[in-house]
Amino acid sequence: MLTRVWQKWRFSAPQTHLWLIKVWFSASTFVVKIATFAKPETVSCDFMTTEKQIKDKIKIFRPKSQVISLFDYNLNDNATRVFKFQDKLGNKIRIWNFTNTIKIETPTEIALNFAINIPDKLCLSNILLEDIKEIGKIYSREKGDKVILNCIKLLFNELKSLQLNTNEGLIVFKNGLQLILNPSREILTEIETLSKIKSIIETNFPDKDNKDDYADLPTELKKILLDYENLAISDDFERDEKIQTLTKKQRTDFIETLEPKLENINEFLDTFNDKPLSEGAIRLQCLAELLIELTYEHGKKNHS
């Protein structure tokens, strides 16, 4: 069974420095990721040098950036900064800066999970399917996966052009593509190639859009979700854009409605244990994430 990279957050009342515990679920495994709003002075000079190089390479996109500390289970490393922007085709891009690598990420909706060179421990695409000389080692969830092999054939030219080193790779989730590279790369060329890969996979292996009536949600939480469904946005870019359209009253009403229910949301999310989250649960955590961002933003204004 193919699974999406599900996210589960354990939420608490926002403080001056926010700690968000993020758990990525697959069918049978999970990993805790801790993200913080880090202080700039805690970042080392080596990281700052690499970050400046990345910023210079992508300056044509006028990226936004944020200092963070985010652990990636597949890379066994912490990211120190994320850059966000849209490429010339309108694809939403995030670049994460790690100790010795960078990760270029773009959201998508497809029906595949596989990895190249870097086994995926989240959705368990960690079984060696084939070792292709001009591309790298292909990992999938099961042996002899002909669908993945057909996809690799369609992507052959794009994958070959990347000329991946053994410590570089591509991880394909149902809701996103992650290209892991050495920071010395040109980056712009790789972003263009990743966009081509995304287009090919979305065209040939689209994910089916399944509507959900949120029947598994407790009545009170279901009502809140239905009232604020248009704000239950998982994508960082779309959420940021939506925040800018909210009036002061809308923000206040949302905070006052949702903040008292954080513990109820946590208790509901905890019932899933290590099972994939339902659509309703995912949307609830999106609302909780928005709450924390709005409260953090409100707190900064009050202290300015």
Q: What is the pLDDT of residues 83-119, one digit of tens each?
A: 999 999 999 999 999 999 999 999 988 888 999 999 9
Closest CA to 24 of 98, 122, 170: 122
pLDDT score at 23: 38
Q: Parallel, antiparallel, or unpaired for β 127-132 and 92-97?
A: unpaired
Q: Clarify whether residues 175 and 281 are in a common domain.
A: no
Q: Which two tokens stand for residue 65?
A: 């950036």
Phi, psi of 186 (to 5 degrees): -65, -30
Q: Clarify whether residues 81 and 196 are in a common domain.
A: yes
Considering the domain boundaries, does residue 102 fall inside one?
Answer: yes
Q: Which of 171, 204, 237 is the last residue of a domain?
A: 204
Q: Clarify whether residues 123 and 191 are in a common domain.
A: yes
Distance CA 300, CA 66 (A): 15
Q: Clarify whether residues 173 and 227 are in a common domain.
A: no
Model confidence pLDDT, tens digit, residues 186-201? 999 999 999 999 999 9
For residues 177-193, give the mean pLDDT. Answer: 96
Q: Clarify whether residues 166 and 247 are in a common domain.
A: no
Residue 262 has pLDDT above 70, yes or no: yes
Q: Which of 139, 172, 204 is the last residue of a domain?
A: 204
Find all residues with CB under 8 Å of 202, minimum gap 6, and list them.
108, 109, 110
Q: Clarify whether residues 65 and 178 are in a common domain.
A: yes
Considering the domain boundaries, does residue 99 fall inside one?
Answer: yes
Parent domain of 290: 219-303
Considering the domain boundaries, does residue 276 fall inside one?
Answer: yes
Q: Clarify whether residues 54 and 198 are in a common domain.
A: yes
Q: Which of 204, 231, 248 is the last residue of a domain?
A: 204
- Number of independent structural domains in the chain: 2
pLDDT score at 288: 87
pLDDT score at 119: 95
Q: Clarify whether residues 43 and 156 are in a common domain.
A: yes
Q: Clarify whether residues 49 and 176 are in a common domain.
A: yes
